[in-house]
Amino acid sequence: MRLATLMALALSAIAVLASAAEDLPDDAANTIGLASSEPLGTFLVDGEGMTLYRFADDDPGSGTSVCYDTCAERWPVFFTADIRVPDGLELTDFQGFVREDGVIQTTYKGWPLYRYFEDKLPGDVRGHGLGDVWFVVSP
């Protein structure tokens, strides 16, 4: 029951913040953006240009993640309450959920989003293809 209440509150907060973000001036920085590389094409990055990943073992749209403990140390959860996106992305494709560990995680089209701890510079894609289960997120 507590988890359901936390999820409802978190999703309400995200919806309110997303709605408020639509009223920001056009020159406000995006919190989610796009980058590209020759072999991978276009992919999602956070507001600082760090690559965002999806985990193939997650069940998109389920509001859950299977990445905890050591996995979550290597693949930190991505969350932003203030979702602002550039042209080419739809704000409504981004949601969030409360994980079993109480952390809120942002999703794109139902896929929980992560960063990779070995990516050091904006645009690094060191996590792409690891274990054949981690991939950059293509729009």
Structure confidence by residue, pLDDT tens digits, 63-101 = 999 999 999 999 999 999 999 999 999 999 999 999 999
Q: What is the pTM of this model?
A: 0.81
Q: Give CA–CA dist 92/79, Å, rounded.
A: 15
Sequential pLDDT tens for the chain (139 residues) = 554 544 444 444 444 444 444 444 444 689 999 999 999 999 999 999 999 999 999 999 999 999 999 999 999 999 999 999 999 999 999 999 999 999 999 999 999 999 999 999 999 999 999 999 999 999 9
